[in-house]
Structure 1
Amino acid sequence: MASISLAHASGHLSARPETIAVPPRVAPGRQALGLGRERDGMIYIPTRLDPAQPAPLIVALHGAGGIASQMLDLFVRSAEARGMILLAPESRGHTWDVIRGGYGPDISFIDEALKKVFQMHPVDPQRIAVSGFSDGASYALSVGVINGELFDHILAFSPGFVAPTQTEDAPKIFISHGVHDEVLPIGPCSRRIVPSLERAGYDVEYREFDGSHVVPPDMVDLAVARFLG
């Protein structure tokens, strides 16, 4: 395994949007990220995206044992309607590195994935969100508050915890959780996380719904509306 930088070991991402006057056109639709062998990821480019205009970007992180296409499925309708690029990297192992022992390999991979997207199409630096479901939501919250300079919004669906090494800036946060969740019960998870984030000064919109460990379409709509509103 390649050595992990100190920055990546602390959860920091270095990739930033590039300034590209007229980038080459990118074919719309789903495409493989092309950076990993057994575990890779996907990019979604909506149709009729103006190649000269910076677009919003959502980085979408799957749950434990998940794959990239599951996260694209959550957001593809909104991406087409709102002209958003989607990046869905896959964890190097069964789930995200901090849950398995500490930041490093997945942060390094996400950094490379971001660099690739930033070279493909101009991205609006004021409209970049990190999102996730379940373990991916916990990771999105954690990485999002560590990298608040990069991510201006965090969209977390049914998270279990937040584990930042440090924080920067103050991204806005959307959290939803089902009241009948048996995988990550709402009491010790979101009902504990949300007050903690609010005490720390974060602007949090929190929605509970009558359901289990799922992401209802209306929660996605609310999260995207907050992100782009």
Structure 2
Amino acid sequence: MLTTSTGLADGALAVEPAPPLHAPLGAGLHWLDTPTRPALLYVPPRLPHWCVPPLLVAFHGATGVPGDMLTLLRTEAAQRKVLLLAPSSEQVTWDAIADGAFGKDAASVQHAMATVFDHFAVDRDRIAVAGFADGASYALGLGLANGDLFTRVLAYSPGCIPPGRRDGRPTIFISHGRRDTILPLTNTSHRIVPTLENDGFHVDYIEHDLGHQAPDSIVTTSAELLG
């Protein structure tokens, strides 16, 4: 269900699961229209007709494309029967990072999620948001702003937490590479994690010995939080 948002600048999404209006989309990849650039939806194979699947909304890094998140998360989504929605930023990175406020990208996320809810009876207790690098920062910002909607946030190598409201208490997973020279630990996760913990959020934090990347083992560990 999609409703009119009056506070999108602070990241508040006006969308929620509702009984589907249309038949489920078939297994595979689907491009979904949005007010800006299309979003990519992956429907795992052999999804039982009675299944109420989880939904993972995943944001690419700066200069990236939705397919990047499919490459990173598709295997886990297929094994765990998770719908995987990968939006696309209108600019080279996401609105809250480029402009300091949520705007067109957040509106497109809202629109794409409403389309998913029109076709699938999504498990409202297992709607998560994820991202890599700038996408991880965006996932943190949007996830914290909509903790009543997103129950889990998976952030791989985030750079910051964009400004916005705080609502709800999502579970947060953060990973970062000790050899990351693009978004070094000391300027990013070493500040982000304590800030979140001081604000009362539960954070599962893992450092790995690689650089600016999310290794498969880290993705598998984080996906276990999807249930």
Task: Report the TM-score when normalising by structure 1.
Answer: 0.93
Q: How does 1:34-183 map to 2 (within 5 A)?
A: 34-35=33-34, 39-101=37-99, 102-183=101-182
Q: Is 1:11 aligned with 2:27?
A: no
Instruction: Write the mapping of 1:197-208 to structure 2, written as runs, cut at 5 A.
Output: 197-208=196-207
User: What one-letter code is carried by the residue in structure 1 that aligns with 2:132?
Assistant: F
| Deviation readout 1:125-156 (Å, 9 max, x if unpaired) | 00000000000000000110010000000000
Verify the 8 A CA contact 1:24 1:51 in the aligned structure 2.
Answer: no
1:43-91 Cα shifts (integer Å, max 9, x gaps):
0000111233210010000000100011011111111111000000001
User: Comparing 24-33 with 65-74, which one deviates more in the overlay?
Assistant: 24-33
Give, as a single letter, the amino acid of the residue that structure 2 aligns with 1:88: A
| Change over 3 Å in CA distance of 1:26–1:203 after alignment to 2 | same
**Aligned residue type for 1:111:** Q
SS in 1 for 2:8: helix
Q: Confirm or deny: 8 A CA contact 2:193 2:203 kept in the other structure.
A: yes
Structure 1 residues 51 and 23, CA gap change in structure 2 (3 angstroms): farther
State the aligned residue count.
223
Structure 2: gaps of 5 or more residues: none
Once the two structures are TM-superposed, the CA of residue 120 in structure 1 deviates from its matched residue by 1.4
Distance 2:42 2:217 in 1: 21
Structure 2 residue 28 is matched with structure 1 residue 24: no
Cα distance in 2, alignment partners of residues 163 and 79 from structure 1? 27
- 1:145, 1:58 → 2: CA distance? 15
Show CA shifts across 1:6-58 (max 9, x none): 411111111111124x9524210111123367x32200000111233210010
RMSD over equivalenced CA pairs, Å: 1.6
* In 1: Cα distance, 2:49 partner to 2:95 partner: 34
Contact 2:27 2:42 in 1 (8 A): yes
Aligned mates of 2:32, 2:212 — CA distance in 1: 28
Amino acid aligned to 1:143: L
Q: Normalised by the size of structure 2, how large is the TM-score?
A: 0.94
Distance in 1 of aligned mates of 2:29 and 2:142:
25
CA distance in 1, matches of 2:122, 2:24: 14
Amino acid at match of 2:82: M
The CA distance in 1 between the partners of 2:121 and 2:109, in whole Å, is 18
SS in 2 for 1:225: helix
Q: Secondary structure at the match of 1:59?
A: strand
In structure 1, the gaps of 5 or more residues are none
- Aligned counterparts of 2:102 and 2:174: Cα–Cα separation in 1: 23
Contact 1:51/1:121 (<8 A) preserved: no
8 A Cα contact 2:41 2:83, kept in partner: yes
CA distance in 2 between partners of 1:23 and 1:56 (Å): 18
Q: 1:213: which partner in 2?
A: 212
Tell me, in whole angstroms, the C-alpha distance in 2 between the residues paired with 1:105 and 1:165. 15
Find the aligned partners of 1:173 and 1:52 in 2 and give their Cα distance: 29
What's the secondary structure of 2:185's corresponding residue?
A: coil
- SS of 2:7's equivalent in the other structure is helix
